[in-house]
Amino acid sequence: MGRAEGPNGGIMGPMRIRLPVLLMALVAAWGTPRPACADVTMFLGATPTPSSRMVRGIAVGVSVIVLGFEFEYANTREEPLMAAPSLRTGMANLIVQTPSGGSGVQFYGTIGGGGYRERLEDVQETGFGINMGGGVKVGIAGPVRARVDYRFFDLRGSPLHPRLHRVYAGVSLMF
């Protein structure tokens, strides 16, 4: 069996033909536009450090498949009788999540940082904090989802309570 020669006199083999086809397939797969989605979540929850107090907030995020970015604002009320300060946080977070798929359930983990203000009567501390946590988003109907989230906060500076936890549930609208 003879060898086939290419236009420049080189030997044409299966590898020379497959490589351009493989490269075109990879470019087509990576170049296919993926839908980005955004969501807004209103939430209520509890900050149990040092005593359980209600927290309210809003989160706005955008994601593409498994990676996303979110900005979150939350406000926990002060309880002077329990020596529990108010806490306002504004955090920017990176989100890594499972693809939503057809099940309507999406798990995620998050890490980020931002500013905080802790206040108890006349004592106030403003500084930088980091947070990490995770949760689940569950489809309810169309673009409406339920969301349950847990976060751990590490506040820098001199807050009364530098490490605290928060758990919340909310309603999320995708668009």
| 3-class SS letters over the chain | CCCCECCCCCECCHHHHHHHHHHHHHHHHHHCCCCEEEEEEEEEEEECCCCCEEEEEEEEEEEECCEEEEEEEEEECCEHHHCECEEEEEEEEEEEECCCCCCCEEEEEEEEEEEEEEEECCEEEEEEEEEEEEEEEEEEECCEEEEEEEEEEEECCCCCCCEEEEEEEEEEEEC
In this structure, the answer to whether residues 22 and 65 fall within a common structural domain is: no
Task: Give the residue-averaged pLDDT of 120-141.
Answer: 97
52 and 74 housed in the same domain? yes
Shared-domain flag, residues 7 and 90: no
Q: Rounded mean pLDDT of 53-74?
A: 96
Q: Which domain holds residue 14?
A: 1-32
pLDDT score for 57:
98
Let me know whether 128 and 141 are in one domain. yes
The tens digit of pLDDT for each residue in 136-170 reads 999 999 999 999 999 999 999 999 999 999 999 99
- When divided into structural domains, the chain yields a total of 2
Q: How confident is the model at residue 67 (pLDDT cuts 50, 70, 90)?
A: very high
Residue 135, pLDDT score? 98
Average pLDDT over residues 57-85: 95
Question: Domain check: are 46 and 12 in the same one?
Answer: no
Based on the domain organization, do 14 and 82 belong to the same domain?
A: no
Mean pLDDT of the chain, nearest integer: 88
Q: Which residue is it, tokens 């009320």? A: 77
Residues 65 and 144 reside in one and the same domain = yes
* Same domain as 159, residue 116: yes
Smallest Cα–Cα separation from 37: which of 6, 8, 70, 15?
A: 70
18 and 95 fall within a common domain = no
pLDDT tens digits, one per residue of 2-52? 555 555 555 555 556 677 776 676 665 555 555 789 999 999 999 999 999
Q: Residue 46 maps to which CATH number? A: 2.40.160.20
* Per-residue pLDDT tens over the stretch 87-120: 999 999 999 999 876 788 999 999 999 999 999 9
